[in-house]
Amino acid sequence: MPLHTLLIEDSETIRENLIPTLAELADAQVIAVAEGASEAIDALNRYGDEWDLVIVDLFLKEGSGLSVLRAGQNRSPHQHMLVLTNYPTAEIRRRCMDLGADGVYDKSTELEAFFDRCQSYRP
């Protein structure tokens, strides 16, 4: 059974590359994509307990990924939220973890660890 995934990313290029790679490396099926925080929070609510993983970028077309993390704080134990960002400073990592992220990964240098973590969530 695939990992039902919500992808919160405003870059079309990154989405086009990430979606097939997630399917191949982590058996993740992206069931919704959002480019902004409001759209992402709507997807969290719409899919309720159906999603297993949310991948969040911090800088979105509208709003911030931090708002998305905040909205997902009361999720079920089987649901995970990972941040994939170009700006993984120590402060950003701390803020994300404080808001309930399960991990924060650098898009440039930590993709292998990111995909390993995604794989670890497979049902």
Residue 123 has pLDDT above 80, yes or no: no
What pTM, to 2 d.p., does this model score?
A: 0.96
The model's pLDDT over 12-29, given as tens digits with 9 standing for 90+, comes to 999 999 999 999 999 999
pLDDT band at 65 (very low <50, low <70, confident <90, very high): very high
Q: Which CATH class is domain 3-120?
A: alpha beta
| Cα 76 from chain centre | 15
Give the whole-angstrom CA distance, residue 83 versus residue 105.
6
Residue 76: strand, helix, or coil: coil
The model's pLDDT over 92-112, given as tens digits with 9 standing for 90+, comes to 999 999 999 999 999 999 999
Structure tokens at 88: 């993984």
Average pLDDT for the chain: 96
What pLDDT does 122 receive?
Answer: 85
69-81 mean pLDDT: 97
Q: Where are the domains of the chain?
A: 3-120
